[in-house]
Amino acid sequence: MEGWTLLLMIAALALGVFALRLPTGIALFLSAAAGALIAGHGFPVRHLVEGSILYLDPILLVVTSLFFMGLFERSGALAALNRAAVSALGSRPHVLLALLTLFVMFPGMLTGLTAPCVLTTGAMIAPVLIGAGLSRARAGAFIASAAFFGMVAPPVNIAAMLICSGVDMPYVGFGWPLLLAAVPLALVSSFFIAGKNVRGLADPRLIEQLPPSHFARHGLKLYLPLLLLLGLLFGAKSFPEHIPYVGVPLMFVLAGILGLVTGERVRLTDVANWAIRQALPIVGLLVGIGVFIQILTLTGARGFIVVETLTLPPALLYLGLALLVPLFGGVSAYGSSSVLGVPLLLALLHHNDIMVAAAISLLASVGDFLPPTRLAVILSAPVVNEEPNRILRASLIPILLGILGGVAMILFANPLARLLGLN
């Protein structure tokens, strides 16, 4: 019965996403309700409500991190940081390309989302990339690739957080594994995508394409919100007797509020409205995933997935990792992490669990390139004024590297864990 319930829930989800073109969060909610009805539980209001707040912590994290990024950008700090980097490294194009990659990744590292990367730092450097000689498709692929790896990089990786939540595992010790999963692959992808056009970044006229910097007016205080955030994030771990741990969402709020007085004048209501608008689709998705997982548990379908996954032969298990996790991530990277990531982690307990969770989060996040959502590609298209399909074709390298890198991290999880001091 559990297997039939799971099959019907997946069918209802596919019908909602592909045929009815419903938002993924709503499709998840409706498929969960259908699953409960089919399994004989009627319309279980209590479980639907409990499921809707299952991922309350990541929801708060999404909203508050976007609030911080909005203030940090509108205060002028991001533009100043970008201009300073291009000015200092314009004569060293290879180093500059690496720095531009990290610059685009930066918002994703703090929010766990691709959208802020593309819409803020990605939009800032798009004219520089095109001016250096990259085609619009390759410039879009560069931005989408860096945004994807920024979503995976620490300190905030929502996909890994969802996996940890599903197995009651603390989100601790992920810094080095996620850096290993994201930064080397991001740099390799950037150099492949840029190709011979890297040398074009040495053109001193490119700096004229960047937004104006307000550093001369405000000085180093522009960067105080970022310093406060980093101080709270790492100070609470390094000096707990002096710096209390107040929770990451509150850290983002405090650092964001400081940004109101360190740079250009910003209206708090404008930033709050922007953050809410950007967060709503993700919040709806997390609510839908929570309800879906809750009903899977209620009907026994989640246990069925775990048991069947544990009995798979190794060849099929790794094939599922390489294909099914990214493909389901095309519907929702977070849904793939929750629904497939948790049983796969349990099936791979003979490997280091932190390395495996980090690798599965990388594989699930590849879905941001894949249909039907293609989120990173769709967002990049208007930024560089190019067709999404052309950007997708130019993004083949990061897609393959993400899949191969994720599987390799699992295969060598234990040696890598010893190397990083996780055992």
| Per-residue pLDDT tens over the stretch 209-222 | 888 888 999 999 99
Among residues 121, 74, 120, the alpha carbon closest in space to that of 101 is found at 121
CA dist., res. 154 & res. 386, Å (int): 30
Contact criterion met (CB below 8 Å) for 323 and 21:
no
Residue with tokens 């740099």: 187
In this structure, what token pair is assigned to residue 319? 């094939």
Q: Is the predicted pLDDT of residue 403 greater than 80, yes or no?
A: yes
pLDDT, residue 109, reads: 94
pLDDT, residue 250, reads: 94
Q: State how far the alpha carbon of 157 is from the alpha carbons of 65, 109, 177, in Å.
A: 12, 7, 11
- Mean per-residue pLDDT, 364-390: 90
**Strand residue runs (E) in 132-230:** none
For the stretch 7-57, pLDDT in tens is 999 899 889 988 898 988 899 999 999 999 999 999 999 999 999 998 898
Confidence of residue 203 (pLDDT cuts 50, 70, 90): confident
In this structure, what token pair is assigned to residue 372? 């039907």
Taken in order 352, 353, 358, 362, the sign of the CA dihedral is: positive
pLDDT, residue 182, reads: 97
Query: To the nearest whole number, what is the mean pLDDT of the chain?
Result: 91
Q: For residue 212, is the peptide bond before it cis, meaning its omega torsion is within 30 degrees of 0?
A: no
How far does CA 83 lie from the centroid of its chain? 25
Q: For residue 244, is the peptide bond before it cis, meaning its omega torsion is within 30 degrees of 0?
A: no
For the stretch 224-265, pLDDT in tens is 999 999 899 888 878 888 888 888 899 999 999 999 999 999
pLDDT, residue 107, reads: 93
**Strand residue runs (E) in 79-179:** none
pLDDT, residue 303, reads: 81
Contact criterion met (CB below 8 Å) for 256 and 72:
yes
Q: Running DSSP on this structure, what letter comes out for residue 210?
A: S
Residue 269 identity (one-letter amino acid)? T
Confidence of residue 363 (pLDDT cuts 50, 70, 90): very high
- Mean per-residue pLDDT, 65-75: 93
pLDDT, residue 240, reads: 83
Q: Is the predicted pLDDT of residue 122 greater than 80, yes or no?
A: yes
pLDDT, residue 242, reads: 85
Q: Running DSSP on this structure, what letter comes out for residue 259?
A: T
- Mean per-residue pLDDT, 98-124: 92
Q: Is the predicted pLDDT of residue 306 greater than 90, yes or no?
A: no
Among residues 225, 226, 246, the alpha carbon closest in space to that of 237 is found at 246
Residue with tokens 């390139």: 369
- Mean per-residue pLDDT, 347-365: 94
Among residues 338, 344, 339, 284, the alpha carbon closest in space to that of 312 is found at 344
Cβ atoms within 10 Å, residue 220: 10
In this structure, what token pair is assigned to residue 48? 């639907």
Residues 6+ apart with CB under 8 A from 420: 176, 177, 180
Q: Is the predicted pLDDT of residue 115 greater than 90, yes or no?
A: no
